[in-house]
Amino acid sequence: MIDIKLIRTDLDTVKENVKKKFQFQKLALVDEAYELDKALRDAKSEADALRNRRNVVSKEIGALMGQGKRDEAEHKKAEVNGINARLQELEAQEETLSAQLKERMLVIPNIIDPSVPIGKDDGENVEIERFGEPRVPDFEIPSHVEIMERLSGIDLDGARRVSGNGFYYLLGDVARLHSAILSYARDFMIDRGFTYCIPPFMIRGGVVTGVMSFTEMENMMYKVEGEDLYLIGTSEHSMIGRFIDTIVDAKSLPLALTSYSPCFRKEVGAHGIEERGVYRIHQFEKQEMIVVCEPEESMLWFEKLLRHSVEFFRSLDIPVRTLECCSGDLADLKVKSADVEAWSPRQGKYFEVGSCSNLGDAQARRLMLRAKSENGIRFPHTLNNTVVAPPRMLIAFLENNLNADFSVNIPEPLRMYMGGKTKIG
């Protein structure tokens, strides 16, 4: 959510930002927000003037009563009654205008960073850099589901009977590999100075609207029936939500946290979900990185977080590339974002395994997270990035470590979590 002062003072910049994101339908909302803010400030100004007048008149009534001028005092009392009636009208008006203004401010997109490439959708994202040499072995690589089945490591049919499409059972060494990757990711981030955290897996509605856009919420979140609770789609939601309505000491910043959680997503519009194995699913587990920092440091942290993702995948000998997300592919709260894609030898191309995002002060404004220093109080910046999200990452891992005999190599960093095994098969 942008600062309302920007709409008051630089309407053209806000509108130009909307155009860069190709959300032309929201241009009218910017004008509406401007008019609603003006009406709200006018109402507040009138109300303040009336309260001041009421204070003055109330003192005059006391003086008149003390002088025995009852008729004049009654006339003044009638004026106070009129002021009170108008104040009631204005207070109701302020409440309505505030709600209408907030409704529009929540959907006006955040101001993107000048470095973001302009484009309509993810087809216009820009490659930044490649890491590692992509390889295609001289034997045919089957689908990740077939690899897992040959390893007796997955049961999709049983999961469909129990839960429907988009769920899975992982078994044996594949399940152990899944846990090993998460354990390694946890320790990888702890070794880089991040504080480990396991957050709540359900959050209240006020936190949901504080950390994400309405479109994201509608497409992602599962609501608990009869409760003001939602299952998280990523631990970022509850990790940042932890700071709702708080003032932190600026000296404590930056806060660098890494969190584990299961994640639950509707995946609205994911047609043919049963044909994708464990690529696009309703339930998965993830290790995340979250940072709360001073505004001046957020772009440095963005680069640092993205570098951590690359280092993690390269430590497991998985080739990756990074992509700069274009303006039309950015969610409304994001200032800047980059995807991490892993190499798929089977498909001969890269596919997304993580996303790094700088949200500026958007989440802080929505949540009323503030940082206090000797120079005053202001909104800090928040960032998040995927460390790893198996089982999707398992696709890249299995394809890049598969041998012709269907055994799978275990890179050195994972062996301590796999009981010392160098291969499974």
Please write the tens of the pLDDT for every residue from 30-68: 999 999 999 999 999 999 999 999 999 988 988 888 888
Residue 115 lies in a domain: no
pLDDT for the residue 323: 97
Taking 60 as the threshold, does the pLDDT of residue 142 lie above it? Answer: yes
Which residues on neighbouring strands pair with residue 342, listed in sequence order?
A: 320, 351
31, 49, 209 from 42: Cα distances, Å: 17, 11, 28
User: Tell me, what's the pLDDT at 5?
Assistant: 94
Same-domain status, 82 and 134: no
pLDDT in tens, 60-112: 988 888 888 888 888 889 999 999 999 999 999 999 999 999 999 999 999 99
* Domains contained in the chain, number: 2
Same-domain status, 266 and 405: yes
- pLDDT at residue 76, rounded to an integer: 87
Q: Which domain holds residue 84?
A: 4-105
Instruction: Confirm if 316 and 413 have CB atoms less than 8 A apart.
Output: yes
Q: Is the pLDDT of residue 273 over 50?
A: no
Supply the pTM of this predicted model.
0.89
Do 282 and 253 belong together in one domain? yes
Domain boundary among 75, 105, 135: 105
State the DSSP H helix or E strand holding residue 76, giving kind and residue range, or none if neither: helix 70-105
364 to each of 87, 94, 113, 126, how far by Cα in Å?
A: 32, 24, 17, 28
Higher-confidence residue: 258 or 137? 258
Of 78, 105, 132, the one marking the end of a domain is 105
Q: Are residues 52 and 147 in the same domain?
A: no
Task: Please tell me whether residues 172 and 242 are part of one structural domain.
Answer: yes
Please state, rounded to an integer, the average pLDDT across all residues of the chain. 93
Cα separation values, 126 from 160, 234, 239, 324, 340, Å: 38, 25, 30, 5, 12
Q: Are residues 134 and 212 in the same domain?
A: yes
Residue 303 pLDDT more than 70? yes
15-19: average pLDDT: 96
Check whether residue 18 and residue 76 sit in a common domain: yes
Query: Residue with structure tokens 């160098």?
Result: 422
Residue 111 lies in a domain: no
Q: For residue 21, give the CATH number of its domain.
A: 1.10.287.40
